Amino acid sequence: MADRLPSSGWYAKRPGLTVLAAVAALLGLLIVLPYLQYVLLGVVLAYILHPAQRWLERYTGSLVAALTLVAVAVLAILLPLSYVLIVAFREALDVITAIQNGQLDIEAIETQIEATGYSIDVVEFYQTYQEPIATGLQGLAMSALEIAGGIPGILIGLTVSLFVLFALLRDGGEFVEWMTRVLPVEDELLSELVTELDQLMWASVVGNVAVAGIQAVLLGVGLALLGVPTVVLLSVVTFIFALLPLIGAFGVWVPVSLYLLGTGQFVTAGILVVYGSIVSASDTYIRPALI
C-alpha cells in the first residue's frame, strides 16, 4: 500500500481548496440529480461495452475506441430501442382510442364466453364500471401526453448518457485505479469488494435485463405469427413484467389467451398457452446459462 495517497492531511492543510471542492461537488450533484437515471444508463452501457473497449484499444487509441463504441451504442442500441418504444406508444394510444370510441365489441366477447358454458355479463360489468374505466383511460391518455411533452428532456438526458458513456469508456480504467489508491481500504478487502461488485453488476445486467429481452422477443415473435394485434406493445410489456419477480411473461400471454378464448379463437389460444408456457419456463434455463 506504499503507492496509496495519504488518506488524511491534505484537506486539513488546504481548507480553502477543500471547501471549494465540496461546493463544486454539491453544485455538480444538484445538476446531475434531475438526470440521474440517464447517468446510470451511461454507467450500465459503459460496463457492458468495457470488454469491447479494452479489445479495440489494442488496435487503436482509447479516444478512437470510445468514439466507435458510442456510435455503436447509438446505432445498435438507443435508436432501435427508441423506435420500439415509439411504436409501442402509438399502439397503446390506438388501443385507448378504440376503447373510448366504443370500437371494442363487448357483446360479441360475452357471446363467445357464454358459448363455452360460462355465464358472465360483460356488458353489465362494463356499463357499471364505465365511469372509473373512462377515468383510468383518461389518466393513461394524459400520462401519454406528458411523456410526449417531455421528449426534449428525454433527448437531453440521452445526450448526458452518451457523454457519460464516452468519458467512462475512455478514462474509466484510470478512474478505477485512482479510486483504489485514494480509498482508505485495505488492498485485499478492496479487491474482494470490486470482484463482488463486478459479479453483482453482471448478474443484474445479464441475468435480468438480457433474459427479459430474450423472453420479450420470443413471445413477440409467437404473437406475431399467431396474428395477435399490438405485438410491439405486448412485447414491451413482457419485457417490463419479466424484470419483475413472480410475474414474467406469464402476465402477458395468459390475458391474451383469455381474450382469444373469449373471441372464439380456441386453436390460437391453445397454441399460445403451450408456447407461452415454454417461454416462461425458458427463464429457468436461460438465466443460469448466461450468468
**HEC string for the chain:** CCCCCCCCCHHHHCHHHHHHHHHHHHHHHHHHHHHHHHHHHHHHHHHHHHHHHHHHCCCCCHHHHHHHHHHHHHHHHHHHHHHHHHHHHHHHHHHHHHHHCCCCCHHHHHHHHHHCCCCCCHHHHHHHCHHHHHHHHHHHHHHHHHHHHCHHHHHHHHHHHHHHHHHHHHHHHHHHHHHHHHCCCCHHHHHHHHHHHHHHHHHHHHHHHHHHHHHHHHHHHHHHHCCCCCHHHHHHHHHHHHHCCCCCCHHHHHHHHHHHHHCCCHHHHHHHHHHHHHHHHHHHHHHHHHC
Residue 182: inside a domain: no
Helix (H) or strand (E) holding 189: helix 187-204
- Give the mean pLDDT of the chain: 76
Say if residue 225's pLDDT is above 70: yes
Average of per-residue pLDDT across 245-266: 80
Say if residue 279's pLDDT is above 50: yes
Say if residue 256's pLDDT is above 80: yes
Average of per-residue pLDDT across 230-257: 82
Residue 18: inside a domain: no
Average of per-residue pLDDT across 66-83: 83
Q: Which domain holds residue 279?
A: 34-177+202-289
pLDDT for the residue numbered 189: 82
Range from 4-8, 80-84, 123-127, 188-192 carrying the lowest mean pLDDT: 4-8
Task: Express each pLDDT in 12-40 by its tens digit.
Answer: 566 777 778 788 888 877 877 878 888 88
Residue 186: inside a domain: no
Residue 185: inside a domain: no
pLDDT for the residue numbered 60: 85
Average of per-residue pLDDT across 72-97: 74
Average of per-residue pLDDT across 84-96: 70
Residue 250: inside a domain: yes
CA atoms within 13 A on the CB side of 257: 18
Average of per-residue pLDDT across 198-204: 78
pLDDT for the residue numbered 2: 46
Residue 235 C-alpha cell reads as 412485447
Average of per-residue pLDDT across 55-74: 87
Share of the chain above pLDDT 90, in %: 0
Residue 281: inside a domain: yes
Between 99 and 91, residue with greater pLDDT: 91
Between 2 and 56, residue with greater pLDDT: 56
The angle at the Cα of 245, spanning 138 to 275, to the nearest 5 degrees, equals 85
pTM over 0.85? The answer is no
Tell me the pLDDT band of 1, cut-offs 50, 70 and 90. Answer: very low
pLDDT for the residue numbered 21: 78
Residue 139: inside a domain: yes
Which range, 4-13, 162-171, 279-288, is most confident? Answer: 162-171
Tell me the pLDDT band of 188, cut-offs 50, 70 and 90. Answer: confident
Tell me the pLDDT band of 11, cut-offs 50, 70 and 90. Answer: low
pLDDT for the residue numbered 102: 56
Say if residue 241's pLDDT is above 60: yes
Tell me the C-alpha to C-alpha distance, in Å, between residue 183 and each of 4, 66, 126, 191, 231.
8, 27, 62, 12, 50
Say if residue 196's pLDDT is above 80: yes
Tell me the pLDDT band of 74, cut-offs 50, 70 and 90. Answer: confident
pLDDT for the residue numbered 128: 60
Q: How many domains does the chain have?
A: 1
Gap between the Cα atoms of 129 and 119, Å rounded: 18
Residue 248: inside a domain: yes
